[in-house]
Amino acid sequence: MAKHVVARTAEIPPGGRKLVTVRGREIGIFNLDGEFFALFNRCPHQGAALCSGEIVSRLESALPGDYRLSRPGEMLRCPWHCWEFDIRTGQSWCEPNSVHARTFPVTTEPLVAETVDVTIAERYVVVTL
């Protein structure tokens, strides 16, 4: 396990994403309102590039005819079979207990680097794997 700096936080605005490669693995970095999350770019179902999927909301309903939208921008929809995953947890909408997109721990950290302008408190997105 090691920490990998994958982006400056400013590169990925809220609602945005960046695809990075760490140790040969494609990983999608997502910014949900200032919090960062990392998902393996591979759908657990048939291997599609999950992180290129649409960023969507939770569409839910208690009863027929009742339509509710919640947690806008916090779900990822696979570009192939439309399976939906929670960006925060990797849990599948349909089978949250048994189907997961793989996630990786993410932190944002200030880094001291000689190339960085010391007058700006820049932070970096760091993935652990």
Burial class of residue 49 (count of CB atoms within 10 Å of its CB; 0-12, 13-18, 19+): middle
Interface with another protein (CB under 8 A), residue from 34, 98, 112, 118 = 98
Residues in binding contact with another protein, number by CB under 8 A: 35
Check binding of 23 to another protein (CB under 8 A).
no
**CA–CA distance, 25 with 28 (Å, rounded to integer):** 10
Residue 77 DSSP one-character state: E
Interface with another protein (CB under 8 A), residue from 30, 36, 37, 40 = 40
Which CB sits closer to another protein, 1 or 63? Answer: 63
Residue 34 near residue 10, CB atoms below 8 Å: no
Check binding of 95 to another protein (CB under 8 A).
yes
**CA–CA distance, 94 with 104 (Å, rounded to integer):** 21
Residues near another protein (CB under 8 A) are: 40, 42, 44-49, 52-54, 59-64, 66-68, 79-84, 92-95, 98-102
